[in-house]
Structure 1
């Protein structure tokens, strides 16, 4: 466990974390559980393709067999019965489904009108009590457009106005009526935090704290101190302040009052105990280092820094501490904290052993072309004279590493036997400017086929507009 600088919290936290198996499940109860069910699927043999497995391997003239919604086999010369549908992929490439770890689809849906602005709960600097999933609008036309770009899963996050914006949710990119039917089964929640300009601008502009970067850090520390005490008060050891925790009959509150259940501190406690993955919007290297120190102080782990235009400055530390860098290819200079961004950022973060470079979008347009964003990073590295990054390496930025950041790498993110059959068939090299997804499978069901009219989901909202 991380060393705790504050001695007064050390005993309480050590005691609480030692009882994680009992306490964590209470902090993580989900009254809105996933109702996702894979659609029926036929067995499919995709053959004669260039296969990028997502594990760093490339197989030429190879096959992928999908059966019962899972990857059954990957290799050359696979045999299958007459009942198996065959897809001739000669000249095509096959990859795992792409995963975007930073999306606001559904919470800032299209069309972009004020009535759809549901991503930032700008009522307090710390709103860990809110869950992005409760803002997700499944009719957002952006989901279908992302599917056409090969995206099969994504994490939808709150915005970055707050120090702690709330919980994010991982979704399967399938057409549904409810967000629960999109929730990725068993995926851990994310906790969205933000450092730097955004929270201090939002709240400083209101004449409240935080108004500075030092105010930001003070706000994080105060929130995690409260959460640390909350864990101790609600540990399995009997205590008069355990009422809601033991029986569930206490009412919710907006603060830690009298032992009542507190939705904000539920989330922060889950992060400290390692059950909710911490994702931090952070640009500058010095601030990323500060956030790593904050994590060390309170005993939580950072899953990924998002945007991180200066992540290249501490790539070795990120790799050593197992922290992913979820990054853009080339967003530079649009605000002060982005001025030291470089186009080689992703490639440099990818260089150390055990690194975890990820390409993300933070954009309803960018999510449609994540493959091209990765291609731009490869080209930037080439222009800088770095070692050539082969396709089998670059695809991990969009698949396996992204799944690792979200804690779902055991289920998806690579073409390995037994994993979900989340698969994309491309018309050529996915890192070409001309690349298009021909077919997209999610759990073995073909949700998208570019060559078949009508074989693409269309949102109810868009259908309604066409009728009108």
Structure 2
């Protein structure tokens, strides 16, 4: 195997590439489609091949720690063994075989998780050939998968890593009612998207309400052209998916009873929608207005599925009680608003108000530039909430870009907080992470240092960027 795709000096970075080329484990292997002669659609035909490199034993000490779930340790330590958090506290001793890293009072946090990114499907440079995120050929394209458009060479991944991003969720665009499946990635260098896929992370389904689908198709003289058309389009698809699920269940019941039965014809679009109805695929829905989100909640009750997260959700503050009651998260910007009518009634306190009402709330980027400074975005949201009279601590607010997005992506048992047993995804910051002047000094993914601001050997650079203007300049 020839490694020529990236200039990544240093054993740690090379180990990450090689880890991304390893084969799937037994638990990640796809089902074979039949079991005892019974046909079952393969739910994981493109499994993750990512396996972390050996982290060794790492002991980070003298750190000001935010654990991602509201806890703060002013002078604490984190012990990493085999890529996992082995211990965290303020009175730990380093094992004899540990690599000791003195944080010297710097802040250490969980890695940043961006729940709404289009890196890879709208990579840099932004040219027409790279516009790969919207299959805007018909309003329902649940059959497409974002991972099949991800370009793993996108230099935006490296810029995000320098901003502390360890995990990111790549979504299709929002032109369609059902835009397709999203995929959760580790922010590691790999030759293939499978080498970046977060092992065993649930698939997601991107849906969109409001102006985007009605504008895209209304301008073509097609349905949907209105909010009415949007809702009718969703419901029609859920009805077809319900029948499809019934057909499969009827076949499985008959086959398991030993009866002669033929399986339904497999339909990729309906496979995805059936996965949502079965609770295996998580709905991530682009929606701005409170009234539209409330209607979508009603529709989810009609068809018996769960909305996991409303994205953008500039009016989440208006329905925060409904979000909390229905265990639905809101992924929002700190201060984007007013750029179209459905974003008109945005307020800067949206994130803080939604959080204070008891709902799961978080920041997201939806931007190749914003993803590089999500710590600053939550700083703005926190400041606006405090100015409005809310008592939210800095430690509590860190959940907005770590444990809450991990929950919304179905990976909270693995990452998003610094707790014993979880993946050692950490960032050491140059100063208070809420400061405009602070930078990520070091980033660990699965306990392996993946970025070091002071060591060029641990600053990944794609071959695509070598020789580009600005590369290598001081």
**TM-score, normalization: structure 1?**
0.89
1:349-364 superposed matches below 5 A: 349-353=354-358, 355-364=359-368
Matched residue, 2:372: 368
Rounded Cα–Cα distance in structure 1 between residues aligned with 2:381 and 2:59: 32
Q: CA deviation at 1:341?
A: 0.4
1:99-138 superposed matches below 5 A: 99-138=113-152
Could you tell me whether the CA contact under 8 Å between 1:307 and 1:326 is conserved in 2? yes
Rounded Cα–Cα distance in structure 1 between residues aligned with 2:187 and 2:385: 31
Matched residue, 1:57: 71
Matched, 1:440 2:456: no
Could you tell me whether the CA contact under 8 Å between 2:94 and 2:100 is conserved in 1? no
Rounded Cα–Cα distance in structure 1 between residues aligned with 2:333 and 2:111: 19
Specify the SS of the correspondent of 1:389.
coil
Matched residue, 1:452: 455
1:29-108 superposed matches below 5 A: 29-108=43-122
Matched residue, 1:426: 429
Compared CA separation, residues 241 and 176, structure 1 to 2 (3 A): farther
Matched, 1:319 2:324: yes
Compared CA separation, residues 142 and 238, structure 1 to 2 (3 A): same
Rounded Cα–Cα distance in structure 2 between residues aligned with 1:241 and 1:117: 47
Rounded Cα–Cα distance in structure 2 between residues aligned with 1:463 and 1:190: 34
How many residue pairs get matched? Answer: 429
Rounded Cα–Cα distance in structure 2 between residues aligned with 1:282 and 1:335: 13
Could you tell me whether the CA contact under 8 Å between 1:91 and 1:427 is conserved in 2? no
Matched residue, 2:184: 170
Comparing 79-88 with 326-335, greater Cα deviation is found at 79-88
Matched residue, 1:380: 384
Compared CA separation, residues 26 and 395, structure 1 to 2 (3 A): farther
Could you tell me whether the CA contact under 8 Å between 1:310 and 1:341 is conserved in 2? yes
Q: What's the C-alpha RMSD, in Å, of the aligned pairs?
A: 1.7
Matched residue, 1:265: 270
Matched residue, 2:25: none
Q: CA deviation at 1:387?
A: 2.2
Could you tell me whether the CA contact under 8 Å between 2:41 and 2:266 is conserved in 1? no
Matched residue, 2:342: 337
Compared CA separation, residues 296 and 416, structure 1 to 2 (3 A): same
Q: CA deviation at 1:382?
A: 2.1
- Picking from 401, 406, 410, the partner of 2:409 is 406
Any stretches of 5+ residues in structure 2 without a counterpart?
1-35
Comparing 87-96 with 296-305, greater Cα deviation is found at 87-96
Matched, 1:143 2:157: yes
Specify the SS of the correspondent of 1:280.
strand
Rounded Cα–Cα distance in structure 1 between residues aligned with 2:154 and 2:428: 24
Matched residue, 2:314: 309
Comparing 84-93 with 371-380, greater Cα deviation is found at 84-93
Matched residue, 2:233: 219
Specify the SS of the correspondent of 1:434.
coil
Q: CA deviation at 1:242?
A: 6.2
Rounded Cα–Cα distance in structure 2 between residues aligned with 1:28 and 1:92: 47
Q: CA deviation at 1:27?
A: 5.1
Compared CA separation, residues 26 and 328, structure 1 to 2 (3 A): farther
Q: CA deviation at 1:464?
A: 5.9
Q: CA deviation at 1:112?
A: 0.2
Matched residue, 1:15: none
Rounded Cα–Cα distance in structure 2 between residues aligned with 1:26 and 1:85: 48
Could you tell me whether the CA contact under 8 Å between 1:27 and 1:267 is conserved in 2? no
Q: CA deviation at 1:446?
A: 0.4
Matched residue, 1:14: none
1:167-246 superposed matches below 5 A: 167-235=181-249, 236-238=252-254, 243=262, 245=263
Specify the SS of the correspondent of 1:180.
helix
Matched residue, 2:6: none
Could you tell me whether the CA contact under 8 Å between 1:156 and 1:169 is conserved in 2? yes
Could you tell me whether the CA contact under 8 Å between 1:234 and 1:242 is conserved in 2? no
Compared CA separation, residues 367 and 26, structure 1 to 2 (3 A): farther
Any stretches of 5+ residues in structure 1 without a counterpart?
1-21, 246-258
Rounded Cα–Cα distance in structure 1 between residues aligned with 2:132 and 2:261: 34
Could you tell me whether the CA contact under 8 Å between 2:356 and 2:390 is conserved in 1? no
Specify the SS of the correspondent of 2:181.
strand
1:387-420, Cα deviation, whole Å (9 max, x unpaired): 2321111100000001000000000000000100
Matched residue, 2:3: none
Specify the SS of the correspondent of 2:456.
coil
Specify the SS of the correspondent of 2:373.
helix
Rounded Cα–Cα distance in structure 2 between residues aligned with 1:115 and 1:171: 22
Matched residue, 2:11: none
Q: CA deviation at 1:431?
A: 0.8
Rounded Cα–Cα distance in structure 2 between residues aligned with 1:200 and 1:280: 15
1:427-453, Cα deviation, whole Å (9 max, x unpaired): 121111111111100001100000112
Q: CA deviation at 1:26?
A: 4.1
Structure 1 residue runs of 4+, over 3 Å off? 25-28, 239-243, 464-468
